[in-house]
Structure 1
Amino acid sequence: MTSLSTTRTHSRKRAWLAPLVYLLSGGALLGLSTNLAKLAGDIQLPALAFLFWSISGAALILLVLAAFRGNLPPVNVRTVEYYAISGLLGVAGANLLFFSAIPHVGAGFVALIITLPPLLTYIGALALKMERFQVLRAAGVISALAGAVTLAFHKLSAPDANYLWILLALIGPVLLAIGNLYRTLRWPEGVSSDALAPGMLIAAAIILLSVGFLPGFSMSVPTERSLPFLLIALQAMVFAGQFLLLFLLQKSGGPVFLSLLGSVGAVVGVPVAILLQGETAPEGLLLGTLLIGAGITLLNIGKAKQLN
């Protein structure tokens, strides 16, 4: 009996510890990603070109890993729909908006607004009965959102604020929240996360390629030096890890916990933007970071209580 009780305790601990590890690792990669996009803009690498080639590289990395494990993405009507919509909402659409906005509003601000999906995701999950209301988890979402709003408010009130790009960038979190809910609701039965991730990235690359044919967009990469190619290769590896962890977190933690990736990304991405890229520290950074950290803590406590 004691052995069985110990096994159950270890099982419950793994059930909340694994999502926490995925969350922290994936969020760190997300914060790094926004800063790589800032570097790409600084060397005049078009946002679409950087995103397309990076996503294509990440898709190739994950496809090779899936083939090595004998777990290639299945292709049927159901999975193709999943890849296409997931790729549009969570990869191509949101990231194209973010990467295009970074030269105008800064990597720090984009890292911060990626913290906004939790409330939208939580409300949607409650409405769709995917989540059971729990005071601690609701408080965690509100705290994380309050931290993001604190930082966004100061950005909008700055005298040199670029309102058009700020508003365009704010559409990204809405797409991410819808994508979080969609991927959970429509997860193809019996298909693993390491098979779905490359399928989604391939679909996103195809969508981005089609955007490249529209006027005003460029897919070309400057060839005068090697730095653009190094940045693309590094971003491809970051994307591969980030989206694989995203699916692992989606499966183990659910859509609301998943949406906190942006909060962790901000905690990593904003200091990197300030310390390594010379961006000005946003007003309210300390308060915002404390609120976001409190939100993550409350959601983790709530997750653990749900499993007991």
Structure 2
Amino acid sequence: MPLLCLVVTGALIGLSVNLAKLAVAAGLGALPFLAWSVTGAAIVLSCILAVFGRLPPLNRQTVTYFFIAALISISVPQLILFASVSHVGAGFAVLSVAFPPLYTYAGALIMRMERFDTVRAGGMALAFGGVVVLAALKAAAPDAALGWVAATLFAPVLLAAGNIYRTLCWPAGARPDGLAPGMMAAAGVLLLAAGALPGFSLHVPFETAIPILLILGQMAAFSVQYLLFFVLQKYGGPVYLSLLGPVAAIVGVPIAVLLLGETPPPGLAVSAALIVSGIGIVTLRNMRAGRT
């Protein structure tokens, strides 16, 4: 189950970043695209889970959990990634999501949530090494937007922090599927509030149906993605969850290259081989240890 959730959720993340590039091309800003997609997905999930009576109770602990998790897991990092695609390309934005494994593993070791394991650490290092190669080559390009490159590389730090926080502060007795709509609703509130600030906008162009279709597509992707996201976090743990990034890179980069016409990043084949090898090593190690 964790491996299936990892593959499906990672693939949806890779798809989401590419949808963000299409949204920008259609005249839809990163903030309104993310805000309306997250809010819509939160409503869909809340309605579905309410029917089955699986929504978590709202109290000080859960509300605090939802808003902190939303801030560092969705609102800020996703907005950075969605806004960066027109400056660094969807391919590189997706690749940056592959950085959290090492950060999450280091954080889990510091917080004593994980015991050091040489084999797992080696797998993480392989996956991380593959992305480092691509990132270094991107930054070295003569036309690189270094400010956006730096911002894009900061998003994984927040994602890793979110991985740790959600596990450490998991509300007692909460079901994985019940936490998804709460975090997404909190993210929707934060993003809509940001759009109401001076200088920002939540405007959606209605000249064509494309922006609406893209928002609906992203809503569907978010609904499935974050529902499986918490299941994976519960049963795979924060470190295994962080491998979503490398999976997203494997799926998202070919989409950016083959469907959106982006130039393949230099060293892609070698980096992809390292990433796949790293994921395989960690997955097999987890299975043998009875973790998946």
TM-score band (shorter)? over 0.9
Shift of 1:190: 0.6
Kept in 2: contact 1:107–1:270 (CA 8 A) = yes
> After the TM superposition, which residues 265-276 of structure 1 pair with which residues of structure 2 at under 5 Å, given as runs?
265-276=248-259
Shift of 1:214: 2.5
1:226 pairs with 2:214 = no
Shift of 1:82: 0.6
Kept in 2: contact 1:108–1:273 (CA 8 A) = yes
Partner amino acid for 1:255? P
> After the TM superposition, which residues 1-308 of structure 1 pair with which residues of structure 2 at under 5 Å, given as runs?
18-307=1-290
Shift of 1:301: 1.5
TM-score, length-normalised on structure 1? 0.93
Partner amino acid for 1:222? P
Which whole-Å CA distance do the structure 2 matches of 1:34 and 1:73 have between them?
29
Kept in 2: contact 1:212–1:219 (CA 8 A) = yes
Shift of 1:73: 2.9
Shift of 1:261: 0.4
Q: 1:230-264: per-residue Cα shift (whole Å, max 9, x none)?
A: 00000000011111111010001000000010100
User: Structure 2: where are the runs of 5+ without partners?
Assistant: none
Which whole-Å CA distance do the structure 2 matches of 1:212 and 1:243 have between them?
23
Shift of 1:307: 1.7
Kept in 2: contact 1:23–1:258 (CA 8 A) = yes
* Count of aligned pairs between the two proteins: 291
Which whole-Å CA distance do the structure 1 matches of 2:121 and 2:46 have between them?
37
Kept in 1: contact 2:177–2:228 (CA 8 A) = no
Shift of 1:170: 1.2
Kept in 1: contact 2:243–2:279 (CA 8 A) = yes
Which whole-Å CA distance do the structure 2 matches of 1:162 and 1:73 have between them?
43
Larger radius of gyration: 1
Percent identity between the two aligned chains: 51
Kept in 1: contact 2:37–2:218 (CA 8 A) = yes
Note the aligned Cα RMSD (angstroms).
0.9
SS of the aligned residue for 2:27 comes to: coil
Q: 1:110-135: per-residue Cα shift (whole Å, max 9, x none)?
A: 11010000000000000111011111
Kept in 2: contact 1:125–1:131 (CA 8 A) = yes
Kept in 2: contact 1:193–1:247 (CA 8 A) = yes
Which whole-Å CA distance do the structure 1 matches of 2:48 and 2:278 have between them?
34
Kept in 1: contact 2:46–2:55 (CA 8 A) = yes
Shift of 1:193: 1.1
Structure 1 moving runs of 4+ over 4 Å: none
TM-score, length-normalised on structure 2? 0.98
Kept in 2: contact 1:112–1:270 (CA 8 A) = yes
Partner amino acid for 1:179? G
User: Structure 1: where are the runs of 5+ without partners?
Assistant: 1-17
Kept in 2: contact 1:62–1:194 (CA 8 A) = no
Kept in 1: contact 2:31–2:201 (CA 8 A) = yes
Which whole-Å CA distance do the structure 2 matches of 1:212 and 1:232 have between them?
16
SS of the aligned residue for 1:100 comes to: helix
Show the counterpart of 1:4. none
Q: 1:191-226: per-residue Cα shift (whole Å, max 9, x none)?
A: 101110000000000110111123332100001111
Which whole-Å CA distance do the structure 2 matches of 1:130 and 1:285 have between them?
33
Partner amino acid for 1:233? L
Kept in 1: contact 2:17–2:93 (CA 8 A) = yes
Partner amino acid for 1:250? Q
